């Protein structure tokens, strides 16, 4: 499950390689930040060490045997003190 999520993200990067300035990415370049499985469904939050600020959410619907990929870009990191 987690390896499948990593491959999905790596494939997205490689599909975009011609359009952006990103070199080939493998599943080993992708890491899982969070993962949860309930019954036949699962969700993974993933990222890479690339400096592009991208964050990914892969949701798997076990009933339909479909995966959905949401892609996010980090816009800002603001420190908020107590």
pLDDT at 71 over 80: yes
- Region label for 26, one of left (φ > 0), alpha (ψ between -120 and 50) or beta (otherwise): beta
36: part of which helix (H) or strand (E)? strand 30-38
What integer pLDDT is reported at residue 25 of this predicted model? 87
Give the integer Cα–Cα distance in Å for 29 and 10. 8
pLDDT tens sequence across 9-67: 999 988 876 665 666 888 999 999 999 999 999 999 999 988 888 999 999 999 999 99
79 falls in which pLDDT band (50, 70, 90)?
A: very high
According to DSSP, the residues that pair with 44 across neighbouring strands are: 35, 58
């Amino acid at each position: 499950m987690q390896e499948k999520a990593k491959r999905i993200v790596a494939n997205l990067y490689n599909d975009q390689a011609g359009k952006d300035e990103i070199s080939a990415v493998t599943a080993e370049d992708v890491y899982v930040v969070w993962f949860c499985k309930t019954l036949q469904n699962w969700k993974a939050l993933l990222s890479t060490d690339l400096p592009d600020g991208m964050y990914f959410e892969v949701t798997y619907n076990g009933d339909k045997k479909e995966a959905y990929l949401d892609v996010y870009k980090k816009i800002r990191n603001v420190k908020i003190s107590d």
